[in-house]
Amino acid sequence: IERKIEEMVGDDELMKRRPRGAGIGKAFRLDDATGRYIEYIKSTIPKGITFEGLKVVVDSANGAAYKTTPWLLREMGADVVSINDKPDGVNINEGCGSLHIDLLRQAVKLHKADIGIAHDGDADRTILCDEKGNMVDGDKVMGMWAVEMKRSHMLSNDTVVSTVMSNFGLEKYLEKHGIRLLRTKVGDRYVVEKMRDGGFTLGGEQSGHIIFLDHNTTGDGPLTAMQVLYLMKKRDTSLSKLSQEITLYPQNLTNVEVEHRHDIKTIPAIEEAISAAEHRLAGKGRVLVRPSGTEPKIRVMLEGEDLRLIQKLGKDIAKVIKANMV
């Protein structure tokens, strides 16, 4: 589809084929779009469930959900404290939202809230804080819901789809519960493609894009918030207790600037360095070496139980990359 669009943009005949005047069509305003959307999100959980008794802080990042999420949760009975909900056209994501959760942490503690919810500007992501101010990212949300969906026989093929950036701790947690983690390239579009191809129902990214394919075909921040609050109510427990079973491994990321991009698989010294690191981790960690999609850099990421060890192994691999690619 992208290739066809590119061809059309470069086609001089495009202007001649474009409709004009009345042929363009008409635009109609849907005045109750927000209300319809909220009713749909509410329909994704069983009737009769309320969020009464829950105090929620919502950070909308001065973005798309500045009205929607607080409205939705108040209709569900929650006591809502809304912050960063005054968009002026330029302050979107400015030191707030899911990209900067310190304000959310502070607000959760200040208001003694049960949970904090942070969206990014276009509200397709949700990052959470538990009642203690600890961050709960997309990996933990997927872990919690994967186990719940398996118990309810709703997790298709006992499989979750995420990207190569999801934490090794999530993979080990799912494995313990008999759930497989499939990884894709970075980007929620690749997650959705894999989910559709395999008929899987749950996927997402560490960054907070969560796809409940039974309800939506993309990341949806308010929907994710709704599902997590529902799970808290269903289990009658706190977010900290829901997420504490999932231990995320320490992660070390090193970026190595290179002059020219090469397929690292064609450079034996780099492959040997990666294999040596994997041998040292002995199944208790993970090595990911990949070129950046936007910069002339090689990204070296290691995860493992021992932070000092993965830092050392990361430096060793980076040194070999510099010797062979710079």
The pLDDT assigned to 15 comes to 72
- Residue range(s) in the chain whose domain bears CATH number 3.40.120.10: 33-136, 138-243
Query: For the chain, what is the mean pLDDT?
Result: 93
pLDDT band for 30, please (50, 70, 90 cuts).
Answer: confident
The pLDDT assigned to 222 comes to 98
pLDDT band for 205, please (50, 70, 90 cuts).
Answer: very high
pLDDT more than 90, % of the chain:
81
- Residue range(s) in the chain whose domain bears CATH number 3.30.310.50: 251-325
pLDDT band for 155, please (50, 70, 90 cuts).
Answer: very high
Range of weakest confidence among 13-27, 55-69, 218-232, 244-258: 13-27
Q: What is the average pLDDT across 305-319?
A: 94
Range of weakest confidence among 114-118, 267-271, 321-325: 321-325
Q: What is the average pLDDT across 108-130?
A: 97
Q: Model's pTM, two decimal places?
A: 0.86
Q: What is the average pLDDT across 143-149?
A: 97
- Cβ atoms 246, 173 nearer than 8 A: yes
Report the CATH number of the 251-325 domain: 3.30.310.50
Report the CATH number of the 33-136 domain: 3.40.120.10
Q: Is the pLDDT of residue 259 over 80?
A: no
pLDDT band for 22, please (50, 70, 90 cuts).
Answer: confident
The CA distance from 104 to 131, in Å, is 11
243's CB contacts (< 8 A; 6+ apart) are 130, 134, 136, 140, 143, 144
* 159-163 and 202-204 beta bridge pairing: parallel
131's CB contacts (< 8 A; 6+ apart) are 108, 112, 113, 114, 115, 238, 239, 240
Q: Is the pLDDT of residue 262 over 80?
A: no
pLDDT band for 326, please (50, 70, 90 cuts).
Answer: low
Q: What is the average pLDDT across 235-264?
A: 90
77's CB contacts (< 8 A; 6+ apart) are 50, 51, 52, 53, 54
* Pairwise pLDDT comparison (12 vs 325), residue with the higher score: 325
- Cβ atoms 116, 128 nearer than 8 A: yes
Q: Tokens for 139, please give them.
A: 């990996």
Range of weakest confidence among 39-53, 85-99, 235-249, 251-265: 251-265
The pLDDT assigned to 266 comes to 84
Report the CATH number of the 138-243 domain: 3.40.120.10
Largest CA distance in the chain: 69
- Cβ atoms 212, 202 nearer than 8 A: yes
pLDDT more than 70, % of the chain:
99
For tokens 């090595």, what's the residue? 287
The CA distance from 225 to 116, in Å, is 10
